[in-house]
Amino acid sequence: MKSNIDKTDKIYIAGHRGMVGSAVWRALEKKGYTNLIGKTSQEVDLRNQEAVQNFIKAEKPVAIVDAAAKVGGILANSENQYEFLLHNLQIQNNLIQAAHEFDLEKFVFLGSSCIYPKLAPQPLKEEYLLTGALEPTNEGYAIAKIAGVKLCQAIRNQYNKDFVSLMPTNLYGPNDNFDLKSSHVLPAMLRKFHEAKLDNDAPVKLWGTGKPMREFLHVDDLAKAVVFAIENGLPEHLYNVGTGTDVTIKQLAETIQKEVGHKGNIDWDSTKPDGTPRKLLDVSKLHKLGWKAEIDLQNGIEGTYKWFLENTEAYKKVKY
State yes or no: 168 annotated in a binding site: yes
State yes or no: 19 annotated in a binding site: yes
Helix axes 185-198, 249-260, angle to 10 degrees: 40
Residue 318 has pLDDT above 90, yes or no: no
State yes or no: 47 annotated in a binding site: no
- The residue among 240, 242, 238 whose CA lies nearest residue 221 is 242
State yes or no: 309 annotated in a binding site: no
Residue 76 has pLDDT above 80, yes or no: no
Q: Percentage of residues in the chain with pLDDT exceeding 90?
A: 82
Span 119-150, pLDDT tens digits: 899 999 999 999 999 988 888 999 999 999 99
State yes or no: 237 annotated in a binding site: no
Span 97-114, pLDDT tens digits: 999 999 999 999 999 999
State yes or no: 17 annotated in a binding site: yes
pLDDT level of residue 181 (50, 70, 90 thresholds): confident
Residues 6+ apart with CB under 8 A from 287: 244
Active-site residue among 12, 33, 141, 239? 141
Q: How many other C-beta atoms lie within 10 A of the C-beta of residue 235?
A: 10
Beta strands in 116-215 (DSSP E): 162-168, 170-172, 204-207, 213-214
Residue 74 pLDDT: 67
Span 3-36, pLDDT tens digits: 789 999 999 999 999 999 999 999 999 999 999 9
Domain ranges of the chain: 11-177+215-244+279-296
Q: Is 257 in contact with 195 (CB distance < 8 Å)?
A: no
Q: What is the mean pLDDT of residues 29-46?
A: 97
Q: How many CA atoms lie within 13 A of 318 on its CB side?
A: 13
Beta bridge partners of 175: none
Beta bridge partners of 278: 213
Q: Which amino acid would we find at residue 167? A: M
State yes or no: 317 annotated in a binding site: no
pLDDT level of residue 320 (50, 70, 90 thresholds): very low
Residue 48 has pLDDT above 90, yes or no: yes
CA torsion through residues 269, 275, 280, 281, sign: negative
Q: Which amino acid would we find at residue 303? A: G
Active site residue 305: no
**Domain 11-177+215-244+279-296 bears CATH identifier 3.30.1330.60:** no
* 201 dihedral zone (left: phi>0; alpha: psi -120 to 50; beta): left
State yes or no: 182 annotated in a binding site: no
Rg (CA), the chain: 19
State yes or no: 284 annotated in a binding site: no
Q: Which amino acid would we find at residue 2? A: K
Pair type for strands 162-168 and 106-110: parallel
Please give the mean pLDDT across all residues of the chain.
93
Q: Is 185 in contact with 252 (CB distance < 8 Å)?
A: yes
State yes or no: 169 annotated in a binding site: yes
Pair type for strands 36-37 and 213-214: unpaired
Span 254-276, pLDDT tens digits: 999 999 999 999 999 999 888 77
- The residue among 177, 114, 194, 218 whose CA lies nearest residue 315 is 177
